Amino acid sequence: MQHKNITWVEVSKSAIQHNIRTLKKILRPGTRFMAIVKSNAYGHGFVEVSRIATRSGVDWLGTVNLEEAFTLRSAGIHCPILVLSYFNPRRLARAIQEKIRLPVYGLQSALQLNSIARRLKKKAIIHIKVDTGTSRLGIPRNEVIQVIKRIARLEHITIEGIFSHLADAENPDQRITAKQLRVFEDILAELNFANIDIPLKHIACSAATILNIKSHYDIVRIGISLYGLQSIEKNYRQLHARNKHLALRPALSWFTTVIQTKKIPAGFTIGYGCTYRVARPTVIALIPVGYWDGYDRKLSNAGTVLIRGIRCPIRGRVCMNLCMVDITAIPSCKPGDRVTLIGKDRTREISADELAIKAGTINYEIVTRINPQIPRIFV
């Protein structure tokens, strides 16, 4: 049966709800759950995912920037929201008024926030980001205490949280993670010695939440695992043996439709650059998905799709808006037939992990890069 959309993404509400319930079972008592919905909820559709998450008992939401946070507030979502990375300085007044938590990783932004909050006669709520060894955003270790002491004296700033990010949480060898946790603990001890009390501490991503209970603190930040995808690139089974009951369900499926079928004579080439030559008479299907839609060009002559439960290989280069698929094994295939890019069809399945391996990347990138203009249908 032909779908009303030519290309669409289906997201399972029940899978997300199941993943939240499952992950909450492994949290240290009292630890709060922050669902990371940045970047269109890793491609899943961030307003609806945020609604599902908050209705399923998630305490916090994490966005990448203020624009995402404002979109959630405009959608009627009122739970605490933490901006994880960056913000437009021109939008800070609205952020303060809407009680959006802002990241601070330098004194200058704290001073700016304090000035705006003073003018509004309010307090800006911040989480201070410290660099414990990832060498990304964060106050350098040797400046942390000095900078926080100065921020703590600002009258219109409330330091609600302090956080960091782990560089190697997915590694079965947890020595680097343990080192970062020690640095974080040292910072907390020095703040305690200086009589600076910061209520909420957090450092754990999905992998750390699963693998290292010492990382849980007051909040865990669950991203990729919320969507049922493995956060560990290698040794997945070995690492998850520590949580044998942790059976997460992938929430996303991606479908398109055959728009044309045609016969290619033996010896002809397919696609740009003539990278594939057919050795025998071949039937191909044209599907309206390409790298603009987020189907990686590195899947040229490497990826497969499912049609009527049968694996069909991509032939030739992935184009901007089209792919060519060998359907010689399905004589009855016709325009309008459903094509599964990610997900299950009868007894077979194509996972985001499979595409990631073929494209030489990670599952995060595969799902996050699905074009946001493609409809997300929640089922």
Which residues form the catalytic set?
38, 272
> How far, in Å, CA of 131 to CA of 136, rounded?
7
First to last CA, the chain: 17
Residues 6 or more apart whose Cβ sits within 8 Å of residue 307: 258, 285, 325, 327, 330, 333, 337, 338, 339, 340, 345
> What length does the chain have?
379
> How far, in Å, CA of 329 to CA of 286, rounded?
15
What is the residue type of 145? I
* Closest-CA residue to 257 (of 325, 329, 318, 311): 325
> How far, in Å, CA of 76 to CA of 78, rounded?
6
- Hey, which residues does 339 pair with through a beta bridge? 256
Q: How far is CA 12 from the centre of its chain?
A: 16
The b/e string for 186-215 (b: 16+ C-beta within 10 A; e otherwise) is ebbeebeeeebebebbbbbbbbbbbbbeeb
Residue 362: count of CB within 10 angstroms of its CB: 19
How many CA atoms are closer than 13 Å to the CA of 229, on its beta-carbon side? Answer: 29
User: What 3-state DSSP class applies to 339?
Assistant: strand
> How far, in Å, CA of 120 to CA of 92, rounded?
11
**DSSP code string of 261-272:** EEEE-TT-EESG
How many CA atoms are closer than 13 Å to the CA of 202, on its beta-carbon side? Answer: 26
Beta strands per DSSP E along 8-144? 8-11, 32-36, 60-63, 81-83, 102-104, 124-129
